[in-house]
Amino acid sequence: MAKLPTPHELMASRKDFPAGSWLDVKPEFAPGSFCYPAKVETMERLHMPHPHEWDPAAEDWNLPDNWEKILCDAFEERLEKHRSLKLFMDICVRCGACADKCHFFLGTNDPKNMPVLRAELLRSLYRRDYTMLGKLLGVSVGARGWDKSVVKELFYYAYQCTECRRCSLFCPYGIDTAEITAIVRELLHEVGLGTHWIMDPVKNCSFTGNHLGIQPHSFVEIVEMLADDCETITGIRPKTPFNEKGHEILFITPSGDVFADPGIYTFMGYLLLFHELDLDYTFSTYASEGGNFGSFVSFNMAKKLNAKMYAEAERLGAKWILGGECGHMWRVVNQYMATYNGPAPSCMMDVPTSPITGTRFENAASTKMVHIAEFTADLIRNNKITLDPSRNDHIITTFHDSCNPARAMGLLEEPRYVLKAVCNNFVEMPENTIREQTFCCGSGSGLNTEEIMELRMRAGMPRGNALRYVQQKYDVNHMACVCAIDRATLTPLANYWAPGVTVSGLHELVGNALVMKGEQKRTMDLRQEDLPNVDPDEPEDDAEQGEE
């Protein structure tokens, strides 16, 4: 990775708007501005259309001969399938309210990163074929035909959008750029254009059960290791049930939590919590991926990867599914899952019900899938777990709302409720950067790849700035989140924009604060770092009494 400029240099180097009309200006495919293309064999194995070798930096992208017809037909098909697309193409008034809502625009000052103009790239093509004015007046009303440079432009900007939907919140008509970006990406896939960082996890998830391609035995091995670590810290080795039939709950979390630092600590939090509750649950190595990179490819690919959840719940006879902390996973689960692959298997209970508190999760009655923050908030509300928030006293935390739970689900208070119960020091970031107005980490929707690190730092600037602000003002040294991609991407982002802030999942902090029956005195947090203010040699209060 090339050395990054300083934050100040990065922001000072934002270019002015080009002098020419956006219809004439074309993007420059400089290294670092695009993701690497998907491998041919990956695309072939997934039966994607027109797999081919191509290089974004090259003049010729080796598109199939009839590429224009393919794209026109594909566009027509999408218009017939999605009312949203027709509507969003027709009703934008270009009021510009969305412009400075986009983190990519704020970070790059590239006008085509204004959501309105990103959509205009496609809208200009729509105008020529589907509107009277465009047919009659052509380019003077912003209509244009397909050509290869337009395809390149679509690719460039469809992969500089993280489908975070912040613009959609502010749009007076609710025009959702995520929908447009998703459909543009679908169109590009029709002519064999995809990115490695998305397609590789999709392939892995298709054939091994998770994005990282962890095979079943390795998956078990890693989880066992994490359970061993739990034992080192707490003296208790949590149980690790896999692929077992007849349990009430199937637990599915993004595989990043099993594999990547700091997600693994969140995973340890889950293990400890479930063990303490003696929860009747199982993991699955087959449905070992909560996330869904398919949703960054096409609706059908998202459906395909998602299908394993219900299939596995049915095979194992689970009554309901508990879902771990993940952003785009919950976009799919909350808004698409029941539609894609429902109705839920008949073995599942009518309304998912917490076996610990008896609370019925009516809001998940159809999908039968409950978010772990909802589950844990309910436990805390009903005093079913003992917590010692002082174990997190060495941190002053803030909370990053992930785009998808915030704007495609409305999961705002549950994680805060949990966080406040397990941490004594909680500070909110500025109000225009949290809750439904939250800013993306800058690397969502499959853009969390190394080759575009500078772009990611730019796109993450609003989030990084807000974090920096509370760091400087309130000595915040920690940021909690409920998203696996966030855990992976906010770490470099924090290092860049607010060095000294650590990032973790919510349940890592729950795991830290959880007082377990029969545990040893905690001297370390889940990262096996010494807890301050704890003298490891001084015996624990309970133990002391026991000895007397």
CB of 363 to other proteins, least distance (A): 5
Around Cβ 193, how many Cβ atoms within 10 Å? Answer: 27
Distances (CA, A) of 13 to 101, 453, 507: 20, 16, 39
CB burial of residue 240 (10 Å; 0-12, 13-18, 19+): middle
Residue 165 vs 275, nearer CB to other proteins? 165
Q: Out of 33, 181, 206, 295, which residue is the one contacting other proteins (CB under 8 A)?
A: 206
Residue 87 vs 524, nearer CB to other proteins? 87
Q: Out of 413, 450, 475, 538, which residue is the one contacting other proteins (CB under 8 A)?
A: 413
Q: Out of 29, 64, 170, 524, which residue is the one contacting other proteins (CB under 8 A)?
A: 170
Q: Out of 35, 38, 117, 484, which residue is the one contacting other proteins (CB under 8 A)?
A: 117
The helix (run of H) or strand (run of E) holding residue 249 is strand 249-252
- Is the peptide bond preceding residue 343 cis, with omega within 30 degrees of 0? yes
CB of 58 to other proteins, least distance (A): 29
Residue 167 vs 198, nearer CB to other proteins? 167
What's the CA gap between 333 and 309, in Å, rounded? 10
The answer to the question of residue 445 lying near other proteins (CB under 8 A) is no
| Cross-strand partners of 252 | 323
The answer to the question of residue 474 lying near other proteins (CB under 8 A) is no
Residue 274 vs 310, nearer CB to other proteins? 310
Around Cβ 335, how many Cβ atoms within 10 Å? Answer: 14
Q: Out of 468, 478, 487, 522, which residue is the one contacting other proteins (CB under 8 A)?
A: 468
Write the binding mask 355 to 394 for other proteins: x where contact by CB under 8 A, - elsewhere.
Answer: ----x-xxxxxxx-x----x--xx--x-------------
Site for other proteins in 226-285 (CB under 8 A): 242-245, 285
* Pairs from 215-223 (Cβ < 8 Å, separation ≥ 24): 216/285, 216/286, 219/258, 219/285, 219/288, 220/285, 222/258, 222/259, 223/258, 223/267, 223/271, 223/283
For the record, the structure tokens of 547 come out as 């000895």
Please give the angle made by the CA atoms of 9, 12 and 16, to the nearest 5 degrees. Answer: 145
CB 92 within 8 A of CB 124: no
Residue 145 vs 343, nearer CB to other proteins? 343
For the record, the structure tokens of 306 come out as 């998602």
Q: Out of 232, 472, 475, 515, which residue is the one contacting other proteins (CB under 8 A)?
A: 472
Q: Out of 155, 274, 299, 426, which residue is the one contacting other proteins (CB under 8 A)?
A: 299
Enter the DSSP assignment of 291: -
Residue 224 vs 529, nearer CB to other proteins? 224
The answer to the question of residue 140 lying near other proteins (CB under 8 A) is yes
Site for other proteins in 481-540 (CB under 8 A): none
CB 265 within 8 A of CB 511: yes
CB of 61 to other proteins, least distance (A): 27
The answer to the question of residue 333 lying near other proteins (CB under 8 A) is yes
Residue 192 vs 464, nearer CB to other proteins? 464
Residue 35 vs 167, nearer CB to other proteins? 167
CB burial of residue 437 (10 Å; 0-12, 13-18, 19+): middle
Interacting span for other proteins (CB under 8 A) from 144-152, 354-362, 484-492, 513-521? 354-362
The answer to the question of residue 177 lying near other proteins (CB under 8 A) is no
Q: Total residues at the site for other proteins (CB under 8 A)?
A: 124
Q: Out of 255, 292, 398, 465, which residue is the one contacting other proteins (CB under 8 A)?
A: 465
DSSP string, 503-522: EEEHHHHHHHHEE-TTPPPP
Q: Out of 38, 116, 187, 447, which residue is the one contacting other proteins (CB under 8 A)?
A: 116
The answer to the question of residue 15 lying near other proteins (CB under 8 A) is no
Residue 50 vs 435, nearer CB to other proteins? 435
Site for other proteins in 35-74 (CB under 8 A): none
CB of 344 to other proteins, least distance (A): 8
The answer to the question of residue 110 lying near other proteins (CB under 8 A) is no
What's the CA gap between 493 and 63, in Å, rounded? 36
CB 300 within 8 A of CB 182: no
Q: Out of 27, 29, 128, 215, which residue is the one contacting other proteins (CB under 8 A)?
A: 215
| Cross-strand partners of 401 | none
Residue 101 vs 185, nearer CB to other proteins? 101
The helix (run of H) or strand (run of E) holding residue 386 is strand 386-387
The answer to the question of residue 5 lying near other proteins (CB under 8 A) is no
Starting at the edge strand found earlier in the chain, the sheet holding 281-282 runs 281-282, 249-252, 320-323, 369-371
For the record, the structure tokens of 87 come out as 């509507």
For the record, the structure tokens of 283 come out as 């993991």
As a dihedral over the C-alpha atoms of residue 478, residue 459, residue 457, residue 436, rounded to 10 degrees, the angle is 0
